[in-house]
Amino acid sequence: MTTEERNKIILTTFVKFLKANDALVQYRANYVKERPGYRAAFFPLHKPDCKTLSGTPHSFICTAFSWDKTKEGRAFWSNLHRKWDRLLTILERTDYEISENISSTFFTRCNEG
* Total domains, the chain: 1
Nearest CA to 72 out of 19, 16, 104, 25 is that of: 25
For residue 98, the tally of other CB atoms under 10 A from its CB is: 13
| Helix 3-20, helix 73-93: angle, nearest 10 | 140
Host H or E run for residue 108:
helix 104-109
pLDDT at 67: 95
pTM above the 0.75 mark? yes
24-76: pLDDT as tens digits: 989 988 988 887 766 554 555 444 444 556 568 888 899 889 999 999 999 99
The parent domain of residue 67 ranges over 3-109
pLDDT at 1: 75
More confident residue, 3 or 47: 3
